[in-house]
Every structure is written in structure tokens, then in C-alpha cells.
């Protein structure tokens, strides 16, 4: 990553991928990321191995994917597909990202719903669930750093947490009320300065 | 008499499934997820408390422990973890047989992805105009802290739903710490914890 940033001219882009390439590329990303690290893998495959995009184009995509609603990885696939081939590209990239993993998960699901009452399976799952709960707990801490120096952000986050956890406020009304208030507070006061702030 | 007992039992568990036909059920599933799609901030994990509320408390598709199981399965499987919606749809359709369950699963996944995907296509095509817009900047900065608060609420909710014995909670906290401090693949944590469950050290 730092290497390509230092010598941007050295990266020679390959020919733009066709629909089949988009499908297989995204399939490879999805399967490589077994157990996490999807965005690192998509960068490795799209930028470094296949050289479809420059690192800068990729990071722009990641910014858009994270900003807009929807799962980041799905949005990233949409970005890559749309970037090269428009709407058909979007569908090819999405199919590559989803079709095989989703079908695998559905097989697992069928087995689960058929057999989860077996004591042996339930015992193993009780352990796996404890680990998964730890993973869920870590999600908030992972992005806490970037807000640490902003007291208003911490106040907003705490308020959101308390409303949801203690007062059982539902997500949709919460976002519809708190979202616009927070946007008003963070409205850029000097658009010229803040316009090209590339926060990751 | 027996129906009275069943009614009492469902009231105890706090959840009684709606009386709907097969098709009505499927349409409820699709509508639910279509409506939630645009609220999946911060990569989609922010919707987990809402998924829990809908599938466990409102529609009674799943028991709390089934919800915890499904979350763990979706995290362990390759591919985007948002595929949990497919498993929720499968749980919703399961009482009507595996065929309906699969239909409901694929339908649910398409429903949760369709609106956000269409918006993303529009965003990609108009990004050059959006990039410097004050709306974009305010949205990104304002929704960030809210997402942070939601993610903590999600973590606590999943921990409550997992509802394991004290050793299980210790394992959860340890995994959380290791996720933040090391780069070990989470699959190892799940495998080890699954083993602890098999030997009865973690139970619920």
C-alpha cells in the first residue's frame, strides 16, 4: 500500500475486466476472506494482483462503500462492477461475491434447522456462540479510536447506546431523529477547507 | 383446556407467531427486509438489534438461542456476514417446510440488498458531484458517532442473547480483547470455544 502510494506511476493498469472477469475476481475475493479481512483481500486481488484499479481508485470506492447504506463488501462489489461495466457489471460482480458463499450458507442453514436440537450439536454451538458474542462486542471498540478526541461524538454515541440498550428505542426512529440533529451539528462551516478531507 | 395451556406457555415465552398463510408470511418477510435496507449504516451490522427484535420478539421466527446460533454460523461462514438475513428468512419459512424456507431465505437476502444496492449504483455514477457536497460531509461526520453507539448496543444485545454460563462470558470478553489486540483469525476462537462447549465447560 505504501509502496504504490510512493510510486504511483509504476502501477500500470491492466485491460479493464469483462463480465466474466468481474464474476471470478469477486468470487476469489469472497472465498479468500474465509474468516474475515474481506477489504484487505479485495485490495490485494483487485489492485495488486489483477491491476484493474489504481490504489487511489480503490480507496475512493472503499470510502463510497462505507458511506452509503448496505454491507461494505457488497457495496464495494457494486462499485467495482459499475466502475467498469455499468449495470451488467454490477450484477456480475454481485453474483461473484454472493452466489457461492450464500448457497454454502444455505446448505449449512438447512442442516442446522434440521439437526440443531441434537444435544451434541447444541453443546458445540453454545461454545461457538460465546466466541461470536465476543466478536460482536469488539465491533464498537474497533472504531472507537477515531472518535476519541471528539467529546460531542462520544456524547452522541453514549446517548444512542443508552437509548437502545436501556430504553429499547428502535433503530429506525432513532436514526430518523438523531441523524438529522447530528448532521446539523457537523454541517461543514467552511466548505472550501473541508471539501477534500479524505477521512478513511 | 390444552389450548389454554398452550396460550399460557406462549405468553410466558412472550412470543406468539402470527396466524398467516404461506404466501402472507413470505410477503411479510420481504416487506420487512426491503424497509430496513436503507438503514444498514456502518456496513450492515447496525441492523442486528433490529433483526433480533423482529425475528425473536415480534414475528417469533426464532427462539433467542436459535438467533445466537444463526449469528455465529453467519460469522463463521465465508463471504459477507450480512448473509445472516438469508438464515433469518430460512427460519421464518421453516415451519412451512424446507422448500418454503429456501424461497424465503433467497427472498429475504435479495430484499435486504436491493434498495441499498440501487442507491450505491446511483452514488457511484454521481460521486464526482457528491464528493464535495456539504450534505455528504455532514452525513459522514454526523452518522459516524451514531453508528458507534449502535455497534456497542449490538454487542451488548448479542452477548445477552448468547446467554451462556459465567465461563462462557469470560470467553466472550477474552475473544473481544483478542480481536482488538491480535490478528488471529476469528475462526480459531470459534473452533476452540466450540471445543469447550463440546466438553461442557461452556453451556447455556
- Whether the per-residue pLDDT at A131 is higher than 90: the answer is yes
Which of B46, B53, B149 lies closest to A156 in CB terms? B149
To the nearest whole angstrom, how far is the Cα of B67 from the nearest Cα of chain A? 10
Which residues lie closer than 8 Å to B114 by C-beta, 6 or more apart? B34, B37
Question: Is the minimum CB–CB distance between A199 and chain B shorter than 8 Å?
Answer: yes
Rounded to 5 degrees, what are φ and ψ at B147? -60, -40
- Whether the per-residue pLDDT at B124 is higher than 80: the answer is yes
What pLDDT is attached to residue A11? 52
The three cell numbers locating residue B166: 459465567
**How distant is the alpha carbon of residue A173 from its chain centre?**
24
The three cell numbers locating residue A111: 442442516
Q: Which of B153, B72, B139, B204 is nearest to A169 (CA)?
A: B153
Contact A78 B147 (CB under 8 A): no
The three cell numbers locating residue A162: 443508552
Pick from B105, B113, B148, B174 the residue to mutate for testing the A interface (most A CBs within 10 Å).
B148
Q: What's the pTM?
A: 0.86
Partners of residue B14 in chain A, C-beta under 8 Å: none
A31 band by pLDDT with thresholds 50, 70 and 90 = confident
What pLDDT is attached to residue B184? 87
**Nearest residue on chain A to B129, alpha-carbon basis:** A195
CB pairs under 8 A between A and B: 370
DSSP secondary structure string for all residues of chain B: -HHHHHHHHHHHHT-------HHHHHHHHHHHHHHHGGG--GGGGGGHHHHHIIIIIIS--S-HHHHHHHHHHHHHSSS-GGGHHHHHHHHHHGGG-HHHHHHHHHHHHHHHHHHHHHHHHHHHHTHHHHTT-HHHHHHHHHHHHHHHHHHHHHHHHHHHHH---HHHHHHHHHHHHHHHH----HHHHHHHHHHHHHTTSS--
- Whether the per-residue pLDDT at A198 is higher than 60: the answer is no
* Residues B70, B76: Cα–Cα separation, whole Å: 10
- Whether the per-residue pLDDT at B143 is higher than 60: the answer is yes
ipTM over 0.90: no
Evaluate whether B27 touches B93 at the Cβ level (below 8 Å): no
Element (H, E) at A98: helix A72-115
What pLDDT is attached to residue A13? 65
- The residues spanned by each domain of chain A are 2-115, 119-194
Contact B87 A75 (CB under 8 A): no
Residue with cell 490504489: A55
Pick from A129, A157, A195 the residue to mutate for testing the B interface (most B CBs within 10 Å).
A129
What pLDDT is attached to residue B1? 43
Partners of residue A146 in chain B, C-beta under 8 Å: 144
Biggest distance spanned by C-alpha atoms of chain B: 68
What pLDDT is attached to residue B5? 45
Buried b (16+ CB within 10 A) or exposed e, B67-99: bbbbbbbbbbbbbbbbbbbbbbbbbbbbebeee
CA distances (Å), B44 to each of A113, A168, B141, in order? 24, 19, 18
Pick from B79, B121, B143, B199 the residue to mutate for testing the A interface (most A CBs within 10 Å).
B79
pLDDT in tens, B55-111: 999 988 999 999 999 999 998 888 787 899 999 999 999 988 899 999 999 999 999
Rg of chain A over all Cα atoms, to the nearest angstrom: 21
What pLDDT is attached to residue A174? 94
Amino acid at each position: 500500500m505504501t509502496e504504490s502510494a510512493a510510486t504511483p506511476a509504476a502501477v500500470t493498469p491492466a485491460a479493464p475486466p469483462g463480465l466474466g472477469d468481474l464474476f471470478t475476481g469477486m468470487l476469489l475475493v469472497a472465498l479468500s476472506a474465509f474468516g474475515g479481512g474481506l477489504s484487505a483481500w479485495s485490495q490485494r486481488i483487485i489492485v495488486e494482483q489483477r491491476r484493474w484499479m489504481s490504489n487511489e481508485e480503490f480507496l475512493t470506492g472503499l470510502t463510497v462503500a462505507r458511506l452509503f447504506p448496505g454491507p461494505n463488501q457488497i457495496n464495494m462489489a457494486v462499485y467495482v462492477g459499475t466502475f467498469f461495466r455499468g449495470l451488467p457489471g454490477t450484477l456480475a460482480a454481485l453474483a461473484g461475491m454472493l452466489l457461492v458463499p450464500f448457497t454454502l450458507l444455505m446448505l449449512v442453514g438447512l442442516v442446522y434447522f434440521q439437526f440443531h436440537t441434537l444435544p451434541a450439536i447444541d453443546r458445540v454451538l453454545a461454545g461457538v456462540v460465546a466466541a461470536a458474542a465476543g466478536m460482536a462486542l469488539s465491533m464498537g471498540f474497533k472504531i472507537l479510536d477515531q472518535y476519541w478526541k471528539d467529546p460531542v461524538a462520544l456524547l452522541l454515541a453514549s446517548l444512542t447506546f443508552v437509548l437502545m440498550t436501556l430504553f429499547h428505542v428502535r433503530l429506525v426512529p432513532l436514526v430518523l431523529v438523531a441523524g438529522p440533529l447530528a448532521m446539523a451539528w457537523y454541517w461543514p462551516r467552511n466548505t472550501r477547507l473541508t471539501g477534500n478531507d479524505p477521512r478513511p | 383446556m390444552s389450548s389454554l395451556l398452550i396460550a399460557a406457555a406462549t405468553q410466558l415465552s412472550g412470543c406468539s407467531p402470527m396466524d398467516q398463510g404461506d404466501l402472507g408470511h413470505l410477503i411479510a418477510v420481504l416487506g420487512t427486509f426491503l424497509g430496513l435496507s436503507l438503514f444498514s449504516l456502518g456496513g450492515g451490522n447496525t441492523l442486528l438489534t433490529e433483526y433480533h427484535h423482529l425475528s425473536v420478539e415480534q414475528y417469533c421466527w426464532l427462539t433467542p438461542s436459535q438467533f445466537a446460533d444463526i449469528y455465529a454460523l453467519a460469522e463463521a461462514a465465508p463471504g459477507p456476514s450480512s448473509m445472516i438475513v438469508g438464515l433469518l428468512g430460512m427460519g421464518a419459512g421453516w415451519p412451512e417446510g424446507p422448500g418454503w424456507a429456501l424461497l424465503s431465505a433467497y427472498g429475504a437476502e435479495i430484499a435486504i440488498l436491493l434498495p441499498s444496492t440501487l442507491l450505491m449504483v446511483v452514488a457511484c455514477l454521481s460521486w464526482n458531484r457528491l464528493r464535495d457536497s456539504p450534505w455528504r460531509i455532514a452525513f459522514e461526520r454526523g452518522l459516524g458517532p451514531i453508528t458507534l453507539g449502535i455497534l456497542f448496543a449490538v454487542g451488548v444485545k448479542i452477548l445477552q442473547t448468547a446467554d451462556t454460563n459465567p465461563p462462557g462470558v469470560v470467553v466472550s470478553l477474552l475473544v473481544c480483547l483478542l480481536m482488538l489486540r491480535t490478528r488471529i483469525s476469528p475462526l480459531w476462537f470459534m473452533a476452540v470455544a466450540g471445543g469447550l462447549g463440546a466438553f461442557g465447560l461452556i453451556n447455556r
